[in-house]
Structure formats: structure tokens, C-alpha cells
């Protein structure tokens, strides 16, 4: 993980690298638990703004739909391709958000993702108490969960 983040920091244009990013790039151990994301203009799009903001429904739905699709494929597990696809969805959404709200939007999207994935996992575990991540879930159990008929709605 550190190597991948370090590679992302190294790939940024010189203009986009701030003093903070340079500090973390020079000491990869400081990156644990911290991910800095910049847009093509060098604007920090995630970091410390832990506000939940209102997002258009289509943006929320993009994250929720991907969480459901990913669960169908991986049954609660995620591989690097899923992570890349989720990152691409985040980037596509964040480019539509004003720069000053991007960090809060990133935080909000993360909360939507976590809420939906936990809703799915909890509902599966209620239906199948011995279920473990990666174990297939029968369609008659999974379909009502993924359609939102079971559990709470994951809208922040």
C-alpha cells in the first residue's frame, strides 16, 4: 500500500506537489492511515475535512450501486481492480464538486460506501450466521439485500 501511494505521489506534476506531500513522499512510513489526493490542478481533494455534505442523488447512487455490484462479485472481498474502479468513481464525482467542497465530498462518499457495505454484510450475516467474507451467498438471500428490501437505506 505504501509503495502504491508513494508511486501516486511521485507521479504528480512538480507543480502539484506541496510541502506536505513532499514530506510524506520522503518518509513513506508517515503515509500509513493517510491518503492525500490531488486533482490535475494540484488541489488537495481529500485530507481532513470531515463534514457530511449534501450530494446529488446520482452521485450517492453511483457509490451504492458499485458497493452492491462489488459484493456480488467478491462476496465481501475487494481486489485491487475493485479499488481502482472505486477510485475512478470517486474521481469522476469529485471533478463535479467545487474545489472548496471536495475534501468534504470525499469524506461523505466514504461514509456512504462504508454504510452500504456494512448494511449488506450485516444483513448477510443475519441470514447466514456462519457466513465469512468471500463465501458465496445464495441468490434468494442476496437479491432482497442488494435491492434494498432488507436492512436500512444507506443514504447519508
- Residue 47: helix, strand or coil by DSSP? coil
Domain count, the chain: 2
24 shares a domain with 98: no
> What are 123-154's pLDDT values in tens digits?
999 999 999 988 999 999 999 998 877 654 44
62 shares a domain with 115: yes
Q: What angle do CA 6, 102, 1 make, to 5 degrees?
A: 20
> What are 14-47's pLDDT values in tens digits?
333 344 445 445 555 544 444 556 566 666 555 5
100 shares a domain with 30: no
- Residue 101: helix, strand or coil by DSSP? helix
Is residue 153 domain-resident? no
Quick check: 100 pLDDT over 80? yes
Is residue 44 domain-resident? no
Rounded CA separation 136/139 (Å): 9
Is residue 65 domain-resident? yes
27 shares a domain with 75: no
114 shares a domain with 82: yes
Please state the pTM of the whole predicted model. Answer: 0.65
Residue 76 structural domain:
57-146
Q: Is 130 exposed, middle or buried (0-12, 13-18, 19+ CB in 10 A)?
A: exposed
66 shares a domain with 127: yes
76 shares a domain with 132: yes
94 shares a domain with 28: no
Amino acid at each position: 500500500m505504501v509503495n502504491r501511494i508513494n508511486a501516486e505521489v511521485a507521479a504528480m506534476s512538480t507543480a502539484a506537489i506541496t510541502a506536505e506531500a513532499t514530506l510524506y513522499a520522503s518518509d513513506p512510513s508517515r503515509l500509513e492511515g493517510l491518503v492525500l489526493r490531488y486533482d490535475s490542478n494540484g488541489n488537495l481533494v481529500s485530507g481532513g475535512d470531515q463534514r457530511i455534505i449534501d450530494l446529488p442523488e446520482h452521485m450517492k447512487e453511483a457509490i451504492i450501486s458499485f458497493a452492491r455490484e462489488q459484493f456480488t462479485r467478491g462476496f465481501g472481498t475487494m481486489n485491487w481492480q475493485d479499488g481502482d474502479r472505486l477510485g475512478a468513481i470517486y474521481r469522476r464525482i469529485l471533478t463535479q464538486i467545487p474545489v472548496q467542497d471536495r475534501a468534504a465530498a470525499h469524506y461523505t462518499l466514504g461514509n456512504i460506501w462504508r454504510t452500504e457495505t456494512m448494511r449488506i454484510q450485516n444483513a448477510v450475516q443475519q441470514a447466514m450466521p456462519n457466513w465469512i467474507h468471500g463465501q458465496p451467498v445464495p441468490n434468494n438471500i442476496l437479491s432482497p439485500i442488494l435491492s434494498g428490501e432488507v436492512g436500512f437505506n444507506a443514504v447519508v
